[in-house]
Structure 1
Amino acid sequence: MSKVVLITGGSSGIGKSIGEYLVERAFKVYGTSRNPEKYPDSKFPILQLDVKTIETIQETIKAIVEKEGRIDVLINNAGAGITGAIEELPEAEIKANFDTNFFGPINVIKAVLPQMRKQHSGLIINITSIAGYMGLPYRGIYSASKGALELITEAFRMELKDFNIKMTNIAPGDFATNIAAGRYHAPLLESSPYKKPYGDTLDLMNTHVDSGSNPIMMAQAVLKVINTKNPKVHYKVGAFMQKFSIVLKRILPDKVYEKMLMKHYKL
């Protein structure tokens, strides 16, 4: 029996790559988008879902279960970037980012759990970020929202152990996707005390994305996790130095690691 996979944010970028990769391997894949009509040529169905709107989450999961009878794998991939000096970020944008990157995945998980408990099986993969392991300058809110999702997964895993429902995180580094286009950028204000360091950091971030790894690496990692009987708590996928930066954070004194980050960002 083909496993039924639901991927939030499956219309582009990493989500699209994962979906196409799994379809080619005989999985039944459903992706989601806030505007599915924009993707008529998708290789798998794209359903309407906004992770910030509980009604759309419930309706989409209900539709999949009515058609397929089950949901075997949920991949919480929908997310949003945000950049800017924390002092200058509007509170509404900060809350909106957490609504998408943290509360949204939790709401999707809550909606799918009753069905997975009924099946007495299921796998939930939360796509987080290597940025979630450290507070990055001018990406602090993004780091915080992804880091929060990493931690909530640790708690969820223990709460779900009696129901044969597995959960894990996959944290990507920089990948060549269109994420920068959908990111909220605090404007570069001429009068801002952060104008030069923020502008320089923004250019560096965009360069990293443009020269990032092929998203197929994430798809391969997802398939490996799906085929793993007992997934680990955390996985990291990306360039060696990006993954190694997490190791350095664990072993270096805080101030030494902070200086290393500041040198990298030329601050």
Structure 2
Amino acid sequence: MSKVVLITGASSGIGKSIAVYLANKGFTVYGTSRNPKKTGNLSFQLIALDVLKPETIKSAIDFIIDKERRLDVLVNNAGMGITGPIEDTPSDEMRSVFNTNFFGAIDVMKSVLPQMRAQKSGLIINVTSIAGYMGLPFRGIYSASKGALELVTEATRMEVAEFGIKVTNIAPGDFATNIAAGRFHTPVFEKSAYREKYQENLDLMDSHVDSGMDPIEMAKKAHQIINTQNPKIHYKVGDFMQKFSIVLKRILPDKLYETLLMNHYKL
């Protein structure tokens, strides 16, 4: 019997790549989107779910369970980006990002856990970010939201272990997706004290996305994790330097690591 997989944020980018890949491998895949009718023909079923609206989370999960009588895997992928100097970024936009990337992901986890607990099995894969391991300039709120989800994943993993449920993270680096188009960009204000440096870093961020890895690498990693009996707590998918930056932060003195980051971002 093929495993039933729910993937949030599957209308494009990493989520779509994972959904298509798993569907082609024989999994029963349900992807979600806030507006599934706007998406063309897909090799998996796309259903409506908005992580900011708990009633749509419940409706989507009830639909899957009513139809399949089980739910084996959740890939918690839905999220949004944000850029800007902390001083210039509207606080409401910061809260919006946390509501999507952090609280929204938690709400989806909470909604699948009763079914997984009843069937005494299940796997939750939270898609975080390598940026969540460090406070990146002009991406501090994004880093914080993904770092917070990493820590909540660690806690949830221990809490649900006795029920046969496994929880893990995949942290991607830069991937060639449309994330930049959906990201909230704090405007480059003419009178901002950060105007020149922020604009330079916006251009740098966009170039990293344009030259990023193929999202199929995330799909392959998700497939590998699903087929692993005892998944690790953390997985990273990115180029060598992106993954090595996490190692450097672990071993280098804080100020030296900060200097490396500031040199990289020309600050």
Normalising to structure 1: TM-score of the pair?
Answer: 0.99
Partner deviation per Cα, 1:81-125 (whole Å, 9 max, x = no partner): 000001111111000000000000100000000000010000000
**CA shift at 1:40, angstroms?**
3.0
Q: Distance in 2 between matches of 1:121 and 1:45?
A: 23
Aligned letter for 1:104?
Answer: G
Partner of 2:62 in structure 1? 62
Partner of 1:48 in structure 2? 48
Q: Do 1:11 and 1:42's aligned partners in 2 also have CA atoms closer than 8 Å?
A: no
Q: Where does structure 2 lack aligned partners over 5 or more consecutive residues?
A: none
User: Does structure 1 residue 184 correspond to structure 2 residue 170?
Assistant: no
Partner of 2:163 in structure 1? 163
Aligned letter for 2:98?
Answer: F
User: Does structure 1 residue 127 correspond to structure 2 residue 107?
Assistant: no
Q: Distance in 2 between matches of 1:112 and 1:25?
A: 23
Partner of 1:20 in structure 2? 20
Question: 3-state SS of the aligned residue for 2:193?
Answer: coil
Partner of 1:106 in structure 2? 106
Q: Distance in 1 between matches of 2:44 and 2:24?
A: 10
Question: 3-state SS of the aligned residue for 1:74?
Answer: strand
User: Following superposition, which runs of at least 4 residues in structure 1 exceed 2 angstroms of deviation?
Assistant: none
Question: 3-state SS of the aligned residue for 1:169?
Answer: strand
Q: Do 1:5 and 1:30's aligned partners in 2 also have CA atoms closer than 8 Å?
A: yes
Partner of 1:252 in structure 2? 252
Q: Distance in 1 between matches of 2:117 and 2:61?
A: 14
Question: 3-state SS of the aligned residue for 1:41?
Answer: coil
Q: Distance in 1 between matches of 2:196 and 2:255?
A: 23
Deviates further, 40-49 or 8-17: 40-49
1:171-250 pair list within 5 angstroms = 171-250=171-250
Partner deviation per Cα, 1:198-231 (whole Å, 9 max, x = no partner): 0001100000000000101000000000000010
Question: 3-state SS of the aligned residue for 2:87?
Answer: helix
Aligned letter for 2:227?
Answer: N
Question: 3-state SS of the aligned residue for 2:110?
Answer: helix
Q: Distance in 1 between matches of 2:247 and 2:4?
A: 35
Aligned letter for 2:17?
Answer: S
Q: RMSD of the TM alignment (CA)?
A: 0.5
Aligned letter for 1:116?
Answer: M
Q: Do 1:128 and 1:170's aligned partners in 2 also have CA atoms closer than 8 Å?
A: yes
Q: Distance in 2 between matches of 1:229 and 1:29?
A: 20
Question: 3-state SS of the aligned residue for 1:42?
Answer: coil
Aligned letter for 2:224?
Answer: K
Q: Distance in 1 between matches of 2:216 and 2:238?
A: 11
Question: 3-state SS of the aligned residue for 1:192?
Answer: coil
**CA shift at 1:76, angstroms?**
0.3
Aligned letter for 1:261?
Answer: L
**CA shift at 1:43, angstroms?**
1.6
Partner of 2:149 in structure 1? 149
Aligned letter for 2:27?
Answer: F
